Structure 1
Amino acid sequence: MRWTARHDRTPGGGRLLAAALALAVALAAPVVGPAAGALAAPVTVTNGTQFTDTNGAVVHAHGGGVLKVGDYYYWFGENRNPDNTFRAVSVYRSTDLRTWEFRNNVLTQSSAAELRVANIERPKVVYNAGTGRFVMWMHKENGSDYNEARAAVASSATVDGDYTYHGSFRPLGQHMSRDITLYNDNGTAYMISAADDNYDLHIYRLTSDYLNVAALVGNFWDGAHREAPAMFKRGGTYFLLTSGATGWSPNQARYATAPSISGPWSGWTDVGNGTTFNSQPAFVLPVQGTSGTSYLYLGDRWAGAWGGPANDSQYVWLPISFPTATSMSLTWYPSVTVDTAAGTVTGNSPAYYRVTARHSGRVLDVINGSTANNAEVKQWGWNGGGNQRWEFQDAGGGWFRLVNAASGKCLDVANASTADGANIIQYTCGSGANQQWQWAALGDWFQLRARHSGKCLDVVNAGTGDGADVQQYTCGAGTNQQWSRTVS
């Protein structure tokens, strides 16, 4: 994950999460000690949103990983300053994977002198049964450029206590190390990191105390230009999930498989859509319960893709399915139901609606079926196309994002304008209030009120023909501001 402009050898390199992502995906959450199982009720997690903790504060666990200790899942991740430099590694805990309790900022700027001006990315934690310590690895930069490419290590006697910082280095004294993940394979720990300006992916075996690198297991993907690694094992197959290196912008996730960490590893196979549903891998979490084990993809939808700070990033969690023992697939769902007691993760299919203007009988339409940012939204006669179907995605607090079925982009007030007559377009979904709408009852009809401006979705001049433009305007009683929605 990257916090500065890209600087890789080719344009479009290094940060998609060289930057959760991007939730590098540290994977493999071992259970420490005898776990009775999380006795929690099933919960629903909404995708493309920010989580809030039990105090109502935003959860900042970007680029992070999850470790299960007893009945609790502990989620570690990046918590950044507004300029994207390091503020803390924060940790939260939950039994159900939705209700998160803030526990501690386990590593902060005051933990060590070299962290006072630094950038820390993709923290991952594993437990060392031999030493009784929790060990964190992360990617460290100096906070002013992106040239250090160092791994850093910290440890603690308790999972959510203050971590002692042990310093940073290049593995084996020579290899660059950026996006990072850990995998604990029955007591032998491995670190996987992007090397050589993200052109290579290295697998290292750690020393017995997990505090240093013992050996380079292999560079199996020389020149692959992959980052955001996440490793997990299912049955007898190891999976390594990665993203391409395209800065903050999302891209096609790909995975490789092997019967052993030392290989032989397969070539890369695409998974998910071309943008991995506008996310980057951060972790893959096995969820084990009475009905078996499910695998949950944890991804970050990085705010850098729309020019925002990292702490405005959102999360995408999806169930992983396995067509064969050596293949995996990802399907988009607007929400997932997680039952940690049963060990099940189920995707919930979206409901799509046509949104019809009262005065004309015509519907909201992305013109010409465009999937591009800034495409115009107008009214048009209903034809059943995906560009006329909208998902009302819960954004919390009674607000919704209207997501177009054809493009996956959001109904947006252009440039977040608060003026009457501001244009309505589609744009990549983010956290902006100009993409959040209230479905407000007005008798048997409804107004769509923009959160940032308080103004209403309005058909310009109450036009009744195909192609009449749509704008925001001060709310009134006109039927050109009144809408219905019908499942379609």
Structure 2
Amino acid sequence: MLLALCLAVAGALAGAGPAQAAPQAVVSGTQFTDVSGAPVRAHGGGVLKVGAYYYWFGEHRNADNTFRYVDAYRSTDLKNWEFRNHVLTQSGAAELASAGIERPKVMYNAATGKFVMWMHKENGTDYGEARAAVAVSDTVDGNYIWRGSFRPLGQHMSRDITVFTDTDGTGYMVSAARENYDLHIYRLTADYTGIASLVANPWPGGHREAPALFKRNGVYFMLTSGATGWSPNQQQYATATSPAGPWTAMANVGDSTAYGSQTAYVLPVQGTSGTSYLYLGDRWGNSFGGTVNDSRHVWLPLSFPSATTLSMSWYPETVVDTAAGTVTGRGGPYETLAARHSGKCADVPGQSQLAGAALKQYTCNGGGNQRFWFQDAGGGYVRLMARHSSFCLTEQAAGVTQEPCSTATAQQWSVTASGGYVLLRSRATGECLDVSGGSAADSAALITHACNGGTNQQWTRAA
């Protein structure tokens, strides 16, 4: 009897899934880390839900931007990511040894029980190969077996790529063709490993890339980027009632740079309250002097003013509740800080996205590098998060810099009213935010100094 009870308990525990995920706030425009503290390398990727877990696949490159791995991570709450495996590696096939692999996307084929990865493959030299490629695995985060690369239907170029599984089980692949001037929608074979037919080329000459295809209440949405290399640009979308079309013309969404990002994927988040849609974008490191591995993630809620229209707004944080299926933005407003003595604004020079950039004062211009969110840090303190970088003002011995936001006291400031102005006092040292030497010149350094009530320590906050 005791043995039977123990076996029953053990069986129940073995079958138990992860605990229900709590709502999580994701800071947009930052580099994510996994639960071990290592950077998440999942750029240009996509997400597949299997059971209670979301699996995130993406590019992990070498320091010189060449292909190294496709990495896989998993999470129940879309914030706390566990590294699972280098699911595709340079050693996976002879063709991969010098390949360029971009935008891996994984789909599950219920008929075969296989997980199928599609990706864009180049020869690693001249970006002229423009091929689609396929790999297959028996498990979602196992080693994917290379099936080879090809041009769809033996003739079409294939670059930026995405996949989509329709509600009837039909698989689709979308890729940028003809030097990115066309965007082809293909129907896949029954096992999802090949191309059955080209079903649509809706925007010939449109010069679009980075496609993301999803379906909401019977309407298909295609979200895309312009083709401007690593630099962000105006995202656009179109709709249809069938992947084969007819599709509408492209319409703008978000701001002129998609908030400094490029589409990677749109993830439906389904829960007890319904389904919400999460935009996953890459802020490519190459656009601000780094490499792909320096890239950051811009995750934002998508909203739908009508059945066939789409909008996207910026929020410093996106709150994801995977149990409820809700995705909401929060944070702000952003404010400028103008020094009383000079009338000039606290500024991150050159709109730098790099950690360690030293703050200066500069003529006020309303740029994102002069606007800060006074985020509640608890205990009567705030963090000052820069709009353009999502980094926080940090007290250093030599001055004030922007750094990744943390719980450090050097990033916590008290705000005290003083004759119509405010004093910003560092929690770490008790010193005040100060324009060095009381200079009124552009590019004068921001430092901390013993609080003395000087006008170069008095600041005007303005939304």
TM-score by structure 1 length? 0.77
The match for 1:257 is 239
Q: Matches of residues 297-446 of structure 1 in structure 2 within 5 Å?
A: 297-355=279-337, 360=340, 365=345, 373=351, 378=361, 389-392=371-374, 402-403=385-386, 408=388, 438-439=410-411, 446=424
Indicate the residue corresponding to 1:477 in structure 2: 450
Tell me if structure 1 keeps the 8 A contact 2:184–2:198.
yes
C-alpha contact (below 8 Å) 1:37/1:70 kept by paired residues: no
For the structure 1 residues 371 and 134, does the alpha-carbon distance in structure 2 shift closer, same or farther, using more than 3 Å as the test? same
Helix, strand or coil: the match of 2:286?
helix
Q: Provide the residue aligned with 2:70 in structure 1.
A: 89
Aligned partner letter, 1:87: R
User: In structure 2, what is the equivalent of residue 103 of structure 1?
Assistant: 84
**Residue number in structure 1 paired with 2:193:** 211
> 1:98 is paired with a residue of what secondary structure?
coil
Shift of 1:197: 0.6
Q: Which is higher, the Rg of structure 1 or of structure 2?
A: 2
**Separation in structure 2 between the aligned mates of residue 312 and residue 329 of structure 1, nearest angstrom:** 28
Q: Matched residues in 2 for 1:362 and 1:461: separation?
A: 12
2:205 counterpart residue number:
223
Q: Secondary structure at the match of 1:93?
A: strand
- Indicate conservation of the 8 Å contact 2:316/2:390, yes or no: no
Answer yes or no: is the 8 Å Cα contact 1:257–1:326 preserved in 2. Answer: yes
**Pair 196,351 (structure 1): closer, same or farther in 2 beyond 3 Å:** same
Match of 2:277 among 292, 295, 298: 295
Residue 485 to residue 177, structure 1, CA distance change in 2 (3 Å): same
Query: Could you give the per-residue CA deviations for residues 170-222 of structure 1, whole angstroms, max 9, x where no partner exists?
Result: 11111100000001112110100000111100011111111111111121111
1:285 equivalent in alignment to 2:285: no
- 2: CA distance, partners of 1:371 / 1:262: 48
CA change 1:144–1:478 in 2 (3 A) is farther
CA distance in 2, matches of 1:442, 1:240: 46
**Structure 1 residue identity aligned to 2:176:** A
* Alignment-mate amino acid for residue 102 of structure 1: F
Q: Shift in Å at residue 351 of structure 1?
A: 3.4
Aligned counterparts of 1:282 and 1:104: Cα–Cα separation in 2: 20
- Tell me how far apart the structure 2 counterparts of residues 388 and 58 of structure 1 sit (CA, whole Å): 28
Select the residue among 45, 53, 74 that pairs with 1:64. 45
Structure 1 residues without counterparts, runs of 5 or longer: 1-34, 450-454
In 2 relative to 1, CA 36–292 (structure 1 residues): closer, same or farther, beyond 3 Å? farther
Check conservation: 1:447, 1:482, Cα contact below 8 A. no
Q: Indicate the residue corresponding to 2:437 in structure 1.
A: 461
The answer on whether the counterparts of 2:414 and 2:426 sit within 8 Å (CA) in structure 1 is no
- Larger deviation: 312-321 or 476-485? 476-485
Structure 2 residue aligned with 1:149? 130
Residue 148 of structure 2 corresponds to: 167
CA distance in 2, matches of 1:121, 1:437: 40
- Give yes or no for contact 2:382–2:412 (8 Å, CA) kept in 1: no
Higher relative contact order (CA 8 A, sep 6+): 1
- Cα distance between partner residues in 1 of 2:327 and 2:414: 38
CA distance in structure 2 between the aligned counterparts of 1:164 and 1:118, rounded to whole angstroms: 15
**Letter aligned with residue 141 of structure 2:** D
Report the CA distance shift for 1:387/1:299 in structure 2 as closer, same or farther (over 3 A): closer
Quote the residue 1:243 is aligned against: 225
Instruction: Report the residue type matching 1:197 in the other structure.
Output: E
| Aligned position for 1:134 | 115
| 2:361–2:442 CA contact under 8 A, matched in 1 | yes
- Structure 1 residue 390: Cα displacement: 2.0
For residues 45 and 347 of structure 1, what CA distance do their matches in structure 2 show? 9
2:174 to 161, 186, 192: 192
Contact 1:39 1:341 in 2 (8 A): yes
How far apart, in 1, do the equivalents of 2:291 and 2:425 lie? 32
> Residue type matched to 1:39 in 2?
Q
In 1, Cα distance between the equivalents of 2:208 and 2:56?
Answer: 24
Displacement of 1:92 in angstroms is 0.5
Q: What percent of counterpart residues are identical?
A: 58
Structure-2 separation of matches of 1:74 and 1:268: 30
Q: CA deviation at 1:471?
A: 1.1
Q: CA RMSD in A?
A: 3.9
Contact 1:333 1:348 in 2 (8 A): yes
The aligned residue for residue 29 of structure 2 is 48
DSSP-derived class of the 2:310 partner: strand
SS in 2 for 1:470: coil
Q: Which amino acid aligns with 1:109?
A: Q
Report the CA distance between 1:356 and its aligned residue: 6.1
Q: Counterpart of 2:4?
A: none
Task: Quote the Cα distance in structure 1 between the aligned partners of 2:432 and 2:390.
Answer: 16
Question: How many residue pairs get matched?
Answer: 424
Q: Among residues 39, 53, 68, which one is paired with 2:20 in the alignment?
A: 39
Deviation of residue 236 (structure 1)?
A: 1.6
Compared CA separation, residues 437 and 108, structure 1 to 2 (3 A): farther
How much has 1:119 moved relative to structure 2? 1.1
Q: Partners in 2 of 1:469 and 1:144 — Cα distance?
A: 42
Tell me how far 1:353 sits from its aligned partner: 3.9
- Distance of 1:128 and 1:119 partners within structure 2: 26
**1:79 matched to which residue of 2?**
60
How far did residue 349 of structure 1 move?
A: 3.2
1:115 aligns with 2:96: yes
Equivalent-residue separation in structure 2 for 1:387 and 1:58 (angstroms): 25
With over 3 angstroms needed to count, the CA separation of the structure-2 counterparts of 1:349 and 1:401, relative to structure 1, is closer
